[in-house]
Structure 1
Amino acid sequence: MRFRNKPWAGEKIRQYPQYVVASPEEHKGKWNEVFGNNNPLHIEVGTGKGRFITGMAEANPGINYLGIELHQGVLASALDRLIDAELPNVKLLNANAADLLSYFAKNDVSRLFLNFSDPWPKTRHEKRRLTYKSFLSLYEQIMADGGEIHFKTDNQGLFEYSLVSFSEYGMLLKDVSLDLHNSEVEGNIMTEYEEKFSGKGNRIYRCEVKYRT
């Protein structure tokens, strides 16, 4: 997926350290200090323009949220949304998912959201999929015991692959929806892509999986 270059994005991000965490490695094992409380921390890997993470933070004030996005131009859009929302329990991080161990210690994270991740459909790119076993191992190393992954996608191939990957890794499938918008799941917060794809008639797949303790 190609992203439009926004040369000004980096400077804008630096102007709002109260919303975008500038040196995340300094907070490893101490994210409660960033938020000023001991509430659980939920992170979204690939937060896009921030609709989901801000919606979750607004709906759940007793939980801290951290939206992680690699592309500065996209993160700048999420920052605009966060500035408008003025929510105290959500912050952003400009980082790569492969570097999570540099920023988080064991037990830092209670839940991880993967929403509409790049499917990397070619077999030779399997290791880049965010539900590949090496990523599942990485997530486990930063999660509290019994931590969960909540996963949504419109890509049937990626969803089927991910269910197999979760199962082979030994995770517990808690909930699986093959058509989220025609299911009984309550309180679903949509992402920008979710709204776009479902508006075209695409089926949305969702699952919740838990690490074994």
Structure 2
Amino acid sequence: MRVRNKPWAKEKLESFPQFVIHNPEQHKGKWNEVFGNSNPLHIEVGTGKGRFVTGMAQSNPDINYIGIELADSVVVTALDRIIEANLPNVKLLNQNANDLQKFFDKGDVDRVYLNFSDPWPKKRHEKRRLTYKTFLDLYESILIDGGEIHFKTDNRGLFEYSLTSFSEYGLLLTYVSLDLHKSDYEGNIMTEYEEKFSEKGFPIYRSEVKFQNEE
């Protein structure tokens, strides 16, 4: 889907430093100081317009959230949601997820959310998939021991690929659903894409995996 350019977006993002962190590398290893508490930190890689991360922050006030999105014309909508809700436990990074190690130290993050990531269906683009092994390395490098990845998609091919990638990496599969909205899973917060696809009758696939501590 083509994103309409918003030339004013960058300036607006810079105008709300209480919600948008502009120099995240300065807070590496010290995110508890940013939030003013030692609550668990969950991040969403590819937060889009912010419906999910905002909803999670509202539902879980004792957890800190960071939404990461590179496209400023998209993440500015997430900023609007956060401003309206005035949530103290959610921040945004207008940054590239490839740079996560610059922003987070080992153990800074308790959970990573991947929601409706680009499937990159062509084989030559495999390394761009957010569940490819190099990205799993990246998540492991910032997560606590035993940290988790929660993954949702409408794309069956990406889901099957991701389950294989998780397994080959040695991750422990703790939850899987081939049709989330017909399951007994509680507490689901929908993204914009999720609502759109589910209304068209597409099943939503979801999995939770955990990094296993080395003995």
Cα deviation 1:37-81 (Å, max 9, x = unaligned):
000000000001111001000111100000000100001000000
What corresponds to 2:110 in structure 1? 110
What corresponds to 2:5 in structure 1? 5
Equivalent-residue separation in structure 2 for 1:62 and 1:76 (angstroms): 25
Deviation, 1:3, is 1.7
What corresponds to 1:100 in structure 2? 100
Cα deviation 1:130-171 (Å, max 9, x = unaligned):
000000000000000100000000000000000000000000
Equivalent-residue separation in structure 2 for 1:69 and 1:30 (angstroms): 21
What corresponds to 1:152 in structure 2? 152
Letter in 2 for 1:124: R
Could you say what the CA RMSD is over the residues aligned between the two structures, in angstroms?
Answer: 0.5
SS at match of 1:148: strand
Cα deviation 1:88-129 (Å, max 9, x = unaligned):
100100011100000000000000000000000000000000
What corresponds to 1:211 in structure 2? 211
SS at match of 2:5: coil
Q: Percent identity?
A: 73
1:54-133 equivalent positions in 2, closer than 5 A: 54-133=54-133
Equivalent-residue separation in structure 2 for 1:170 and 1:114 (angstroms): 18
Equivalent-residue separation in structure 2 for 1:97 and 1:42 (angstroms): 14
Deviation, 1:4, is 1.5
Letter in 2 for 1:51: R
What corresponds to 2:182 in structure 1? 182
TM-score for the superposition, normalised by structure 2: 0.98
Given the alignment of the two structures, is residue 38 of structure 1 paired with residue 38 of structure 2, yes or no? yes
SS at match of 2:144: strand
Equivalent-residue separation in structure 2 for 1:96 and 1:206 (angstroms): 24
Structure 1: gaps (5+ residues): none
Deviation, 1:2, is 2.8
Equivalent-residue separation in structure 1 for 2:190 and 2:75 (angstroms): 18
What corresponds to 1:165 in structure 2? 165
Deviation, 1:201, is 0.6
SS at match of 1:135: helix
Structure 2: gaps (5+ residues): none
SS at match of 2:43: strand
TM-score for the superposition, normalised by structure 1: 0.99
